[in-house]
Structure 1
């Protein structure tokens, strides 16, 4: 008998979606462009950089036809800063580090000063308006020198598919990374710290349910794999709290109905006693 599939998207499916992320490669051979569903790719001409989907970049890397340039956040220094924000910054003691800003969106410091925080819309070839979202944002491409200088003031941030992209690049292109062993340790530490925050958020939900008030967990900055891995646990806790709350509400209603019946019985008995008198 086949077991039922779990509700929601599974971690392998999340990793499959993360392969659509765009990364920067340095080709070793000349290759013609390809016609893909997402549009044509640029021809590969060494040593000019080219942006390709992650799945195609990994394929070329395994065939030794290209090298993958790590994104700006996948270095020991940015990961160490993000880990410090997650563990030592008072504003993010119980929250997650801020995600990368969307196109046209001000950074964290500008938002705190009251700047506009709405992303800039884009338009398709037929003129329809849309807002880009992961994985269709260039959050994992290697920045050029001009872009790095422009974004030098931005705080480091983890993209939506940080865990999947980091593990894939560590497995297939560790020789293209700077100190892969340290990057692997930092990614592991970040995952443990952020999962502990998610479990702590479940405690907040339980406390809010026990006192009868509403409560929630801020999920700003949470990655796709973190949501997929914690979905079953959090959903089970919420379902258990819902059943406990429903049983408490049912018991309260039964108690109120019993009290009303008792009050009605006492009043009727007194009235009959007065009539007999």
Structure 2
């Protein structure tokens, strides 16, 4: 993965973030009878027709492709719930509403492979796109407020894709501020070498 092979690069590709999201658990409704599936990551099943079962998203997609199940959309992926989230996002310009960490990737995968299982799919897709736009606008507005007095950034309830996009910029910006801040504030103690001012321990610069 890009983020692991190069320690200087913290940005993952969209495909890599989506790959991580496929481990999220989801509910399926099998339409066939199958014994339990024994995987390295765990055992899933047995499966009985019309009896809900919980499996990783990657397995749900694999079974869906073979016509062996339908996928139940998560509770947050309804018109009513998404409308509430969108309204709350617009009313709170400095806050992010709690959503699943991989809501962007999960919705994209379900749109690609389980379109017929999602009620009001076009409206659901439109609401999710609107939510993403509002949240990214908040992120951009927040980044514009960064200055040399900023030593830490706290972003609560960001999703994986949102964190992935803003992390490199925020980390580099804060490191630059810290470098200039400590480089300028030096005092002489009478010796030939200046002594940096002790500003105390710094907080690790990790956006959340």
In the superposition, the TM-score normalised over structure 1's length comes to 0.60
RMSD over aligned CA atoms reads: 2.0
Alignment match, 2:155: 219
Deviations 1:171-198 (CA, angstroms, capped at 9, x unpaired): 1111110111111111111111111222
Residue deviations 1:179-230, cap 9 Å, x none? 1111111111111111122222223332xx2xx4x55433221111111122
CA distance in 2, matches of 1:198, 1:21: 25
Among 71, 74, 83, which residue is 2:74 paired with? 71
- Number of matched pairs: 182
Give the equivalent residue in structure 1 for 2:35.
32
SS of 1:241's equivalent in the other structure is helix
- Separation in 1, partners of 2:143, 2:115: 35
- Give the equivalent residue in structure 1 for 2:139: 198
Q: CA deviation at 1:59?
A: 0.6
Query: Could you tell me whether the CA contact under 8 Å between 1:28 and 1:46 is conserved in 2?
Result: yes
1:236-266 CA-partner distances (Å, limit 9, x unpaired): 32233334434543xxx4xx66xxxxxxxxx
Displacement of 1:52 in angstroms is: 0.8
Give the equivalent residue in structure 2 for 1:105: none
Q: Is the 8 A contact 2:152 2:174 kept in 1?
A: no
Q: Which has the higher contact order (CA 8 A, sep 6+)?
A: 1
1:228 to 164, 175, 185: 164
SS in structure 2 opposite 1:25?
strand
Secondary structure of the equivalent of 1:40? Answer: strand
Deviation by residue 1:92-140 (Cα, 9 ceiling, x = unmatched): 321111x3xxxxxxxxxxxxxxxxxxxxxxxxxxxxxxxxxxxxxxxxx
Structure number, greater radius of gyration = 1
Structure 1 residue aligned with 2:94: 94
* Residue equivalent to 1:268: none
What residue is the counterpart of 2:178 in the other structure? 242
**Shift of the alpha carbon at 1:22?**
0.7
Map of 1:155 onto structure 2: none
* 1:95–1:218 Cα contact (<8 Å) kept: no
- The structure with the greater share of residues assigned to helix is 1
CA 217–201 in structure 1, closer or farther in 2 if over 3 Å, else same: farther
1:189 aligns with 2:191: no
Q: Distance in 2 between matches of 1:30 and 1:84?
A: 43
SS in structure 1 at match of 2:104: helix
Distance (Å, rounded) in 2 between the aligned partners of 1:36 and 1:67: 21
For 2:10, the equivalent position in structure 1 comes to: 8
Residue of structure 2 equivalent to 1:180: 121
Structure 1: segments with no counterpart, 5+ residues: 100-157, 258-277
Confirm whether residue 159 of structure 1 aligns to residue 105 of structure 2: no
Secondary structure of 2:176's match? helix
